Amino acid sequence: MPDFTESTPASRAADRAELAVLIIEIPRLEARQASIQERLAAYIYPIETIPHEIMSEIFLWYIDGGTYPSGPQFLSGDRPESLLLVCKTWRDIALATPRLWRTLKFGHGATLQRRFANPDTLLQTHVNIARRRLERSGALPIAFSVLAPEKLRGGTVGFSRASHAAILALMLEDTNPARWEYARIILERDYFGPRIEGTFHQLRVLDVVNKKGLIDSFRIAPFTSDNAPKLSTLFAWIPDLAWLTGAFPW
């Protein structure tokens, strides 16, 4: 650092001369700085030149589980929610792509249970995420699967009947049944949730399992050509064949 304890006429003259040079240099350096900043600001990263329509397609191939009707889990892997965290542009594109949000896998991802106090907390988180996905997917048809309370996939820790019923209540809420296209439902032995009924005009594939065979018309309404006109594929594991024939008369 300069020694300010000794000041002489010669040193002060040298300081004034240096200051005069700096006064001249500062505007030139500021102009150069502005020029460099403008040049950098004008640069467009190649990824930003990709049309949003193409980015939407890339996003659809990014998410885990493949393309619809398969798709990502709620809390693991490459899921659409991760795209919202990258930047505003990606967030806007993801939210403007309803097809990203139309797969719902309830109860999947048992390996994540260590993050939650209990399985019911995990299932409630699934329900909360599902509500947002249902909103973001607009009016598009949806694919969903609901595991039985007995265990989560990949583990043997059960969740309560109340959680199971809450999931089905959501999927039967308002206009949601009209959006079912691919549905897989594993019901517990003595299912006491909301009656599965509605207008399923988009439903193409239904996979319903009740291995213990205590399901009846009070729990599942018949699926006919009137309320499920597009239903073309049925997978049913229900021992009561008489009831099964009546519930699916086609």
Ordered alpha helix ranges (H), the chain: 9-42, 52-62, 80-83, 88-95, 119-136, 161-171, 241-247
Please tell me the predicted confidence (pLDDT) of residue 172.
Answer: 92
Task: Say how many CA atoms lie within 13 Å of 7 toward its Cβ.
Answer: 6
Most confident of 1-10, 142-151, 241-250: 142-151
215 and 194 share one domain? yes
Is residue 152 situated within a structural domain?
A: yes
217 and 114 share one domain? yes
28 and 119 share one domain? no
Please tell me the predicted confidence (pLDDT) of residue 123.
Answer: 79
238 and 154 share one domain? yes
74 and 19 share one domain? no
155 and 203 share one domain? yes
Q: Are 213 and 184 in contact (CB under 8 A)?
A: no
Mean pLDDT of 156-182: 83
**Per-residue pLDDT at 247 exceeds 80:** no
Is residue 227 situated within a structural domain?
A: yes
pTM for this one?
A: 0.76
Higher pLDDT, 103 or 119: 103
Helix, strand, coil in percent for the chain, rounding step 5? 45, 10, 45
Higher pLDDT, 202 or 43: 202
Please tell me the predicted confidence (pLDDT) of residue 125.
Answer: 86
Taking all residues of the chain, what is their mean pLDDT, rounded to a whole number?
83
228 and 173 share one domain? yes
91 and 20 share one domain? no
Higher pLDDT, 120 or 173: 173
**Per-residue pLDDT at 154 exceeds 50:** no
User: Which amino acid is located at 91 in the chain?
Assistant: R
> Where in the sequence is the domain holding 129, given as residue range(s)?
51-247
Higher pLDDT, 233 or 45: 233
Is residue 119 situated within a structural domain?
A: yes
With pLDDT > 70 as the criterion, what percentage of the chain qualifies?
Answer: 82
Higher pLDDT, 38 or 190: 38
26 and 133 share one domain? no
Check residue 151 and report its DSSP letter.
-
110 and 60 share one domain? yes
Q: What domain count does the chain have? A: 2
Q: Which residue has the tokens 């988009």?
A: 202
Please tell me the predicted confidence (pLDDT) of residue 153.
Answer: 43
**Per-residue pLDDT at 158 exceeds 60:** no
Is residue 2 situated within a structural domain?
A: no
Beta strand 142-146 pairing with 103-106: parallel
List, for residues 172-218, the tens digit of each pLDDT value.
998 899 999 999 988 877 777 888 899 999 999 999 887 666 666 67
Is residue 147 situated within a structural domain?
A: yes
Lowest mean pLDDT among 23-27, 215-219, 222-226, 245-249: 215-219
Is residue 230 situated within a structural domain?
A: yes
| 220 confidence band (pLDDT: 50, 70, 90) | confident
List, for residues 222-243, the tens digit of each pLDDT value.
888 899 999 999 888 777 777 6
With pLDDT > 90 as the criterion, what percentage of the chain qualifies?
Answer: 41
Is residue 1 situated within a structural domain?
A: no
235 and 193 share one domain? yes
61 and 166 share one domain? yes
**Per-residue pLDDT at 152 exceeds 70:** no
Is residue 132 situated within a structural domain?
A: yes
**Per-residue pLDDT at 111 exceeds 60:** no
